[in-house]
């Protein structure tokens, strides 16, 4: 299970860290309150603040970091049952975690839907408008086209409910970079069998790790997530493979950038 804290090392602010988190830095959008930027009723009233933010977060501006590649390595080694992420930055996909192993519980910028006629679009179709600061409109009905991000007041994607089968099967749950403040995602932490170790790698203790509901098999690694995941990789002897994987993907990315520049 992951949240915005795994992407802060890539340069993307999280939501709730005091001072640096997004909810403390939305003054310029003149919102009635910070969370309104992700509320569906507010979006229908005024989509501009969300699209201003979307311009910042749109996939392509940021690169995955060691935490994303660690999950990719789990997958390469046949150890990943599923990654449940709340993040909408697309860095899991960029790190090569296959879409079928991913549950993007709060949606994705990869696809979009017209809020009026429900016509569907690829995220790429909106890119130009979003980058130009224009609210994307449906050519068919002129409705606002909204990236398939889950707003407060909207249902989670269908594949979120895979958790019903996945969590009882897990033999280890790693939770990284999330405040576990948003439901129903947060409750997934309680959905593994009671004997299953839960490892929290986060700057601060959160959710069931603080409420006095700790299980005897729970483990907390507090501090920076890259250091915590790096220490885990070291402990299990994966450091070299992890570095090689990152170098390989970076090389590919550079070649791709060079060939699209020429």
The set of catalytic residues is 106
Indicate whether 14 belongs to the interface with ligand OAD (CB under 6 A).
Answer: yes
# of chain residues touching ligand OAD (CB under 6 A): 26
Rule CB under 6 A: which of 57-86 touch ligand OAD? 86
Cβ(167)–Cβ(84) under 8 Å?
no
Smallest distance from ligand OAD to CB 34, Å: 9
Residue placing its CB nearer to ligand OAD in the complex, 210 or 248? 210
Give whole-number Cα distances, 10 to 127, 141, 225, in Å.
Answer: 21, 38, 11
Smallest distance from ligand OAD to CB 17, Å: 5
Cβ(102)–Cβ(93) under 8 Å?
yes
Residue placing its CB nearer to ligand OAD in the complex, 62 or 76? 62
Residue placing its CB nearer to ligand OAD in the complex, 20 or 255? 20
Binding residue for ligand OAD, selected from 10, 12, 38, 145, defined by CB under 6 A: 38
Select from 185, 176, 119 the least CA-distant residue to 156: 185
Residues in contact with ligand OAD, shown as a per-residue x/- string from 157 to 196 under the rule CB under 6 A = --------------------xxx-xx--------------
| Gap between the Cα atoms of 178 and 171, Å rounded | 21
Indicate whether 148 belongs to the interface with ligand OAD (CB under 6 A).
Answer: no
Which tokens sit at 71? 């999950």
Q: How far apart, in Å, do the first and last CA atoms of the chain sit? A: 40
Indicate whether 16 belongs to the interface with ligand OAD (CB under 6 A).
Answer: yes
| Gap between the Cα atoms of 134 and 132, Å rounded | 6
Cβ(185)–Cβ(105) under 8 Å?
yes
Peptide bond into 164 cis (omega under 30): no
Give whole-number Cα distances, 120 to 4, 73, 247, 259, in Å.
Answer: 27, 33, 36, 31
Indicate whether 202 belongs to the interface with ligand OAD (CB under 6 A).
Answer: yes
Indicate whether 9 belongs to the interface with ligand OAD (CB under 6 A).
Answer: yes
Binding residue for ligand OAD, selected from 204, 213, 234, 250, defined by CB under 6 A: 204
Indicate whether 15 belongs to the interface with ligand OAD (CB under 6 A).
Answer: yes
Using CA of residue 60, residue 62, residue 68, residue 73, what is the dihedral sign? positive
Residue placing its CB nearer to ligand OAD in the complex, 8 or 108? 8
Helix, strand or coil, per DSSP, at residue 95: coil
Residues in contact with ligand OAD by CB under 6 A are: 3-5, 8-9, 14-17, 21, 38, 86, 88, 106, 150, 177-179, 181-182, 202-204, 206, 224-225
């Amino acid at each position: 299970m992951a949240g915005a804290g795994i992407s802060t090392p890539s340069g993307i602010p999280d939501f709730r860290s005091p001072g640096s988190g997004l909810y403390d830095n939305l003054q310029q959008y003149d919102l009635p309150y910070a969370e309104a930027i992700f509320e569906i009723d507010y979006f229908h009233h005024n989509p501009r603040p969300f699209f201003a933010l979307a311009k910042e977060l749109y996939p392509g501006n940021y690169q995955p970091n060691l935490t994303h590649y660690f999950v990719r390595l789990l997958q390469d080694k046949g150890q990943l049952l599923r990654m449940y992420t709340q993040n909408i930055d697309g860095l899991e996909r960029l790190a090569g975690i296959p879409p079928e192993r991913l549950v993007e519980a709060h949606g994705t910028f990869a696809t979009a839907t017209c809020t009026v006629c429900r016509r569907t679009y690829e995220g790429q179709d909106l890119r130009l408008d979003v980058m130009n600061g224009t609210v994307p409109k449906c050519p068919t009905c002129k409705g606002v086209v909204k990236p398939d991000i889950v707003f407060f007041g909207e249902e989670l994607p269908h594949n979120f409910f895979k958790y019903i089968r996945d969590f009882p099967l897990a033999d280890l749950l790693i939770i990284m970079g999330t405040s576990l403040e948003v439901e129903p995602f947060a409750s997934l932490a309680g959905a593994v069998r009671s004997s299953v170790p839960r490892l929290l790698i986060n700057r601060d203790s959160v959710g069931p790790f603080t409420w006095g509901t700790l299980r005897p098999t729970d483990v907390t690694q507090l501090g920076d997530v890259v250091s915590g995941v790096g220490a885990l990789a070291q402990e299990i002897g994966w450091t070299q493979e992890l570095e090689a994987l990152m170098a390989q993907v970076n090389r590919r990315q550079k070649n791709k950038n060079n060939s699209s520049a020429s």
